[in-house]
């Protein structure tokens, strides 16, 4: 499962049990990527709360956030998250497998509206080289109607994904 000990669902108590129960209600199971965080119940709860907030974002789509996770994970070579988010795009957001494959090959043709496409491309650019983005990039996003909150939320999500990919890869968390 993982190089570190993690709490299995049958052994979960307290906060871990509560998060696992909520995850099972939402997804039908508890992903190993979530179980990985059970070593630190506080971080598990924070992550789960954060993900719930992202999925209910006021102006950006869950589809965008799933695409950010998948494409950042392609760069990080995290097969767990690539596969998980491919499945989410296909099963939860109705994106065809062909479009997902095309998105991975060329994010420019991602099928989002102008604003979400720009946020996706900015996030990929910034997570690849955070020193390679700057004021011009932010102004271009503002010029097409992105708020500072949307820019922050998209990039924060991409940066969080880099961290998650590192943890999943380093701890060798197995896919379900």
- The pLDDT of residue 110: 74
pLDDT in tens, 147-175: 999 999 999 999 999 999 999 999 999 99
pLDDT in tens, 55-91: 899 999 999 999 999 999 999 999 999 999 999 999 9
112-118 long-range contacts (CB < 8 A, ≥24 apart) are: 112/63, 112/64, 112/67, 114/144, 115/144, 115/145, 115/146, 115/150, 116/60, 116/61, 116/64, 118/144, 118/146
Query: What is the pTM assigned to this prediction?
Result: 0.93
- The pLDDT of residue 87: 95
Domains of the chain with CATH codes: 9-55 (no CATH), 62-170 (1.20.1290.10)
């Amino acid at each position: 499962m993982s190089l570190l000990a993690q709490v299995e669902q049958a052994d979960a108590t307290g906060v871990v049990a509560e998060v696992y129960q909520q995850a099972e209600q939402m997804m039908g199971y508890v992903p190993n990527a979530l179980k990985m965080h059970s070593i630190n119940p506080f971080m598990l709860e924070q992550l789960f709360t954060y993900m719930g907030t992202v999925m209910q974002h006021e102006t950006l789509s869950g589809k965008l956030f799933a695409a950010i996770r998948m494409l950042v994970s392609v760069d990080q070579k995290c097969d767990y998250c690539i596969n998980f988010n491919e499945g989410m795009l296909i099963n939860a957001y109705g994106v065809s497998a062909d479009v997902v494959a095309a998105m991975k090959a060329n994010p420019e043709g991602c099928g989002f509206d102008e604003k979400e496409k720009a946020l996706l491309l900015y996030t990929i650019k910034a997570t690849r080289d955070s020193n390679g983005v700057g004021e011009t990039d932010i102004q271009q996003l503002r010029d097409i109607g992105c708020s500072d909150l949307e820019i922050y939320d998209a990039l924060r999500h991409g940066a969080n994904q880099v961290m998650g990919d590192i943890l999943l890869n380093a701890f060798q968390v197995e896919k379900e």
